[in-house]
Amino acid sequence: MNTSEISDPFKKARIENGCGHIEDQNDPATMVLRLKDVRKCAHNWKTFQSGAEPGRIVIPSEVAIRTTRQIPFEVDPPEHKGYRDLVEPWFKRPLDPTYQEKLKVIIDTIIDEVLTKESIEVVGDLSLKLQSRALTLLLNTPFEESERWISWGTHVFRSEDSSLDGDKANILYDYIDEEIDKAIANPGCDLYSVLLASEVNGKKMTKEEVKGVMILTFAGGRDTVINALTNSVAYFAEHPESIQQIKENPEITGKAVEELIRYFSPLTQMGRVATQDATVCEHAVKADTRISLCWASANRDETVFENPNEVVLDRKLNPHIAFGFGTHNCLGATHARQIMNIFLTTIAQKVASIDILEAEENIEDLGDFKRKVGYDSLTVKFNAH
């Protein structure tokens, strides 16, 4: 009964050292492992910047495969604020009840469908579909677009033999270029059109800037949501009592969402580049080298969380940073939280139990550490009430 367990590989280093080390294409990074330190570094954007060379704050670095700056992700204050203020109201739309009703239809349909099958592969047949269809709501694009996104498979940026595949990433870039051109020719009410019609920091948004925002919504919201959903299915398969607990106490659903996201930490880490010599918990960080903010380690910090390695669905105080912290905290969090909330509610209503038939774990290789983030494939059977 531990297929669904996500262990904490950082514990020893976090307690003894506070930092870890990761090699990456000759641009190593110091991994910051304690919650308070991660928060402090995330807060200190002057010393630890996001607006470095495009791709450099991502680990593994994407400097070699792209030049488009992701917006607002790779921009520092004060410019960051202009972009962020522009997109923030749009990304709060998931709070609207009509948005939630549409999302519920998407999720109901998928759960009803998987309940009729003898077995399903969760990553491809449930998580990717759900994530793609839900994204049409967030971007306010036609539902049918999701079929194309689903056809790309789970890894738009990755091929079988290489974790960074520039050619494959081009599928997404070319698609977004096309969609931007369409929106220029025929403006509508989708996010492309809204951005194209906007001004930021006193200047009209350029095509390149719009592209930077759109790529980010595809990239940042894809693997993260897919892992959150797939890992939830594995967790509920091994903890049918948790399905029952949510069914009987629907008021804990919001807390359960936060706790699962803390436990899974679908985004393991994100980097920053030091603008000057600095220290992080007594470790020297040289100017122009990288640190990583390790959200996944911070979320198991034993000085903050009681029983950090246990899923406590109704955990009351849960100051996790799975959605980041400070300036760049996750723009898609409102959408992701709504997806998870409705997903959990629907499972509690319709599903009695889930049997795991086969599981292929996805283990990230992080130098000193190996961390499970989810599954390459997870085959299960859903059982109705």
Give the footprint of ligand HEM on this chain (CB under 6 A).
42, 50, 58, 60, 62, 66, 70, 72-73, 84, 138, 157-158, 163-164, 169, 215-217, 219-221, 223-225, 227-228, 261, 266-267, 270, 295, 322-324, 328, 330-332, 335-336, 362, 364, 373-374
Residues 20/367, Cβ–Cβ less than 8 Å: yes
Distance of CA 200 to the CA centre of its chain: 26
**Ramachandran assignment for 201, one of left (phi > 0), alpha (psi -120 to 50 degrees), beta (any other):** left
Pick what 158 binds: another protein, ligand HEM, none; C-beta below 5 to 8 Å, kind-dependent.
Answer: ligand HEM
DSSP 69: P
Residue nearest to ligand HEM (CB): 332
Of 346, 312, 105, 59, which Cα lies nearest the Cα of 229? Answer: 346
**Ramachandran assignment for 18, one of left (phi > 0), alpha (psi -120 to 50 degrees), beta (any other):** left
- Cβ 253 to another protein shortest distance, Å: 9
Pick what 247 binds: another protein, ligand HEM, none; C-beta below 5 to 8 Å, kind-dependent.
Answer: none
| Burial class for 365, CB neighbours closer than 10 Å (0-12, 13-18, 19+) | exposed
Q: In whole angstroms, what is the distance from residue 385 CA to residue 380 CA?
A: 16
Residue with tokens 């909330």: 341
By CB under 8 A, residue 321 contacts another protein: yes
- Cβ 286 to another protein shortest distance, Å: 24
Q: Which residues contact 369 (CB under 8 A, 6 or more apart)?
A: 9, 10, 13, 20, 22
- Look at strands 199-200 and 203-204 and give their pairing: antiparallel
Residue with tokens 């680990």: 59
Pick what 362 binds: another protein, ligand HEM, none; C-beta below 5 to 8 Å, kind-dependent.
Answer: ligand HEM
Pick what 295 binds: another protein, ligand HEM, none; C-beta below 5 to 8 Å, kind-dependent.
Answer: ligand HEM
Number of residues that bind another protein (CB under 8 A): 25
By beta-carbon proximity to another protein, the closer residue of 20 and 324 is 324
By beta-carbon proximity to another protein, the closer residue of 315 and 371 is 315
Binder of another protein out of 14, 34, 40, 69 (CB under 8 A) = 40
DSSP 162: B
By beta-carbon proximity to another protein, the closer residue of 92 and 381 is 92
Beta strands in the chain (DSSP E): 19-22, 29-32, 48-49, 120-121, 199-200, 203-204, 270-274, 278-280, 283-285, 290-293, 351-366, 369-384
Residue with tokens 């091994």: 238
- Looking at residues 74 to 103 of the shown chain, list those that interact with another protein (rule: CB under 8 A): 92, 95
- Looking at residues 251 to 280 of the shown chain, list those that interact with another protein (rule: CB under 8 A): 254-255, 257-258
Interaction pattern, residues 337-376, with another protein; x per rule: CB under 8 A: x---------------------------------------
- Cβ 175 to ligand HEM shortest distance, Å: 13
Pick what 255 binds: ligand HEM, another protein, none; C-beta below 5 to 8 Å, kind-dependent.
Answer: another protein
3-state secondary structure 87-109: HHHHHCHHHCHHHHHHHHHHHHH
Pick what 169 binds: ligand HEM, another protein, none; C-beta below 5 to 8 Å, kind-dependent.
Answer: ligand HEM
Summarize as ranges the residues that interact with another protein (CB under 8 A): 36, 39-40, 43, 92, 95, 254-255, 257-258, 304, 315-321, 323, 325-326, 329, 333-334, 337
